[in-house]
């Protein structure tokens, strides 16, 4: 069961807004965990963990609302993106595809969570792998438009696979632990 279903039975508009904004704040904080990669315009961040976590814990609707709120905050200029940046043009930069992928990944991870795919360790792990793959597909596709496919793989995927594996495992353990606690 999705955590927010257990915490808030009323499903009021105010509660949903507070939850979504709280999720966006979590993403902004995780974006601050940013390590520049010298040969790539894409930094290593904690955001992908946050996307997986929020989708699994909040579900498809509130997870996506959190991500949309986060991206909207950044697009209006709040310094919520990696490295404390923001602005509308960020969406058109090299990491724009990853940002759009965050929405799709949060939705799919949330949907799978709602269907019970985060109730067991292995299915949670597979859900997190799928969510991460979606983020990479969107991010690499956008990079490939400007840099070419091979370069996009070299600067947008290969350097991040081991970090993604760590975040996938961490998200799996955290979500699985929360779900065990709540059953």
Q: pLDDT per residue over 119-133, tens digit each?
A: 999 999 999 999 999
- Give 56's pLDDT tier (boundaries 50, 70, 90): very high
Phi, psi of 38 (to 5 degrees): -55, -35
Region label for 11, one of left (φ > 0), alpha (ψ between -120 and 50) or beta (otherwise):
left
Q: What is the pTM of this model?
A: 0.91
**pLDDT, position 26:** 97
Nearest alpha carbon to residue 82 among 64, 99, 105: 99
Q: Is 48 exposed, middle or buried (0-12, 13-18, 19+ CB in 10 A)?
A: buried
| More confident position, 152 or 15 | 152
Domain of 147?
3-182
Residue spans of beta strands (DSSP E) within 76-136? none
Q: Is 36 exposed, middle or buried (0-12, 13-18, 19+ CB in 10 A)?
A: exposed
Phi, psi of 169 (to 5 degrees): -65, -45
Is the pLDDT assigned to residue 105 strictly greater than 90? yes
Is the pLDDT assigned to residue 6 strictly greater than 70? no
User: In the numeric block, which tokens belong to residue 136?
Assistant: 């990479």
Number of domains in the chain: 1
Q: What is the DSSP letter of 35?
A: E
What is the rounded distance in angstroms from the CA atom of residue 130 to the CA atom of residue 124?
10
């Amino acid at each position: 069961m999705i955590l927010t279903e257990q915490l808030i039975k009323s499903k009021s508009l105010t509660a949903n807004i507070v939850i979504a904004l709280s999720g966006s704040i979590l993403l902004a904080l995780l974006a601050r965990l940013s390590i520049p990669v010298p040969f790539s315009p894409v930094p290593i961040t904690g955001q992908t963990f946050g996307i997986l976590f929020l989708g699994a814990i909040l579900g498809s609707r509130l997870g996506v609302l959190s991500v949309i709120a986060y991206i909207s905050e950044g697009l209006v200029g709040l310094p919520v993106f990696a490295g404390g940046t923001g602005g509308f043009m960020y969406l058109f930069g090299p990491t724009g595809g990853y940002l759009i992928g965050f929405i799709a990944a949060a939705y799919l991870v949330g949907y799978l969570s709602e269907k019970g795919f985060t109730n067991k360790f292995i299915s949670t792990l597979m859900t997190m792998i799928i969510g991460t793959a979606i983020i990479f597909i969107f991010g690499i596709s956008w990079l490939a438009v400007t840099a070419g496919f091979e370069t996009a793989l070299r600067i947008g995927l290969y350097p991040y696979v081991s970090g993604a594996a760590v975040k996938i495992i961490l998200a799996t353990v955290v979500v699985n632990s929360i779900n065990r606690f709540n059953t």
